[in-house]
Amino acid sequence: MGVDMAKKMRTDEGKLKPFSEWKKDIKSIASHYCGAWLQTEYNTATLRAKFAAEWKQYEADVDIMPNLRWMPTTSANPEEEHKVYWMNRLTLSVGDKFWDKHHPGDHWNCKCSLEQTDEPANPDVLSHIPDVKPQKGLAANPGKTGEMFDQQHPYFAKSCAKCFATKGLKNKMTSFLNIKRDCMHCEYINNCLKPSLNYKIGKGHVKIHPLVEVTDTDFKKLQQVAEYFASKGHTVELTPKMSRPSKFDYDCVYHSLVGTKFEGKCPDLRIDGVWYEHEGFVTDNPKRAFKNMLNDGMVQSSRLIIDRPNLTTRWMKHNIFDRVTRYGQDIQEVWIRNDNGGLELLYKNSGSK
């Protein structure tokens, strides 16, 4: 699978394809990859291919410039782990075994580089800086092995018994080798990630992920909310609640939350790509209900849809404004869901798009 995907990164003339074109070409090979994963895979493979070509040049020029120095990343937001190398001006010989498993590109999306130099090596630096272990799938030096990724690729479970798609099955495969990429053709994964239910309302669309429990008590409310926004021309996706999901399972649905403060959370719906959380109330005390809905909702998202409590609009707006200005709470939007299914915007942060 990885070899086939790598082959499709270049045109017949040998030129690197744009990500959008490559994504279309490998759709039949990796139909259950998510967009964010593919972008990371593409970026990392491109960087590692460049590094592999440079490594051949390092070896060719070793008599003139025998050493390599770790250079800073070009990323605007550099990761901290590799920083110890370029802050200490780590310089080692081209033949040093360190480069077998430690090199730019041994972390996903790493944009560090090496500089060939004839300045002295300083291997003693390694004795007083922490060892930065390569991330899974990236340990091998592609300039030496010719492989973009090794067999510890993180997208694949170590065994079928640990795969999210086979939970509850009595007759599981006892084991498999990653090199076979059996999960790319697994009927359980393909079934678990089957397309969402999609229907049209006015000029908009409602999508219901196949893992959403339609028997949940609040499903009808969420569907009502989704259809309201769809009737206004929006695309609305209802997404599942997850309890301790596998990384593969979670990332496939909530990949856009990865790296944000809401990573690991499961908001109820996404409207035109923006996450929202719906909250109802379970107490007859309207002020307590309002407080609980905001507090519980903000754990999942900064954009909330709440059921209307028996409170005046003025009081609720004042309460939200006080939370934002006095206590610095991150509230971007609050919508009120009325008993008749209609929604009205109660609050929107002036800086929110």
Segment 81-114, tens digit of pLDDT: 888 898 899 999 999 999 998 988 888 778 888 9
Q: Does residue 151 belong to any structural domain of this protein?
A: no
What are the distances in angstroms from CA 263 to CA 9, 155, 166, 223? 30, 18, 24, 24
Confidence of residue 265 (pLDDT cuts 50, 70, 90): very high
Q: Does residue 150 belong to any structural domain of this protein?
A: no
Looking at the fold, whether 23 and 166 belong to one and the same domain comes out as: no
Instruction: For residue range 124-159, list pLDDT tens digits in order.
Output: 999 988 888 888 778 888 888 777 666 566 555 666
Looking at the fold, whether 186 and 204 belong to one and the same domain comes out as: no
Looking at the fold, whether 235 and 122 belong to one and the same domain comes out as: no
Looking at the fold, whether 93 and 220 belong to one and the same domain comes out as: no
Encode 38-59: b = buried (16+ Cβ within 10 Å), e = exposed.
Answer: beebbebbbbbbebbebbeebe
Pairwise CA distance, residues 127 & 98, whole Å: 13
Looking at the fold, whether 170 and 229 belong to one and the same domain comes out as: no
Q: Does residue 285 belong to any structural domain of this protein?
A: yes
Q: Does residue 155 belong to any structural domain of this protein?
A: no
CATH number of 203's domain: 3.40.1350.120
pLDDT value of residue 28: 47
Looking at the fold, whether 203 and 340 belong to one and the same domain comes out as: yes
Looking at the fold, whether 187 and 202 belong to one and the same domain comes out as: no
**Order of all β-strands in the sheet with 303-307:** 197-201, 204-208, 235-238, 269-271, 274-279, 303-307, 333-337, 343-348
Looking at the fold, whether 188 and 222 belong to one and the same domain comes out as: no
- Supply angle C-alpha 49, 51, 57, rounded to 5: 115
Q: Does residue 82 belong to any structural domain of this protein?
A: yes
Q: Does residue 353 belong to any structural domain of this protein?
A: no
Instruction: For residue range 315-347, list pLDDT tens digits in order.
Output: 999 999 999 999 999 999 999 999 888 999 999
Domain boundary among 83, 118, 145: 145
**Average pLDDT of the chain to the nearest whole number:** 81
Widest Cα–Cα separation across the chain: 81
Looking at the fold, whether 205 and 242 belong to one and the same domain comes out as: yes
Model pTM?
Answer: 0.52
Read off φ and ψ for residue 256, nearest 5 degrees: -75, -10
Q: Does residue 153 belong to any structural domain of this protein?
A: no
Domain count, the chain: 3
Looking at the fold, whether 9 and 139 belong to one and the same domain comes out as: yes
Pairwise CA distance, residues 329 & 332, whole Å: 9
Is the pLDDT at 231 greater than 60? The verdict is: yes
The boundaries of the domain holding residue 104 are 2-145
Looking at the fold, whether 115 and 245 belong to one and the same domain comes out as: no
Looking at the fold, whether 34 and 48 belong to one and the same domain comes out as: yes
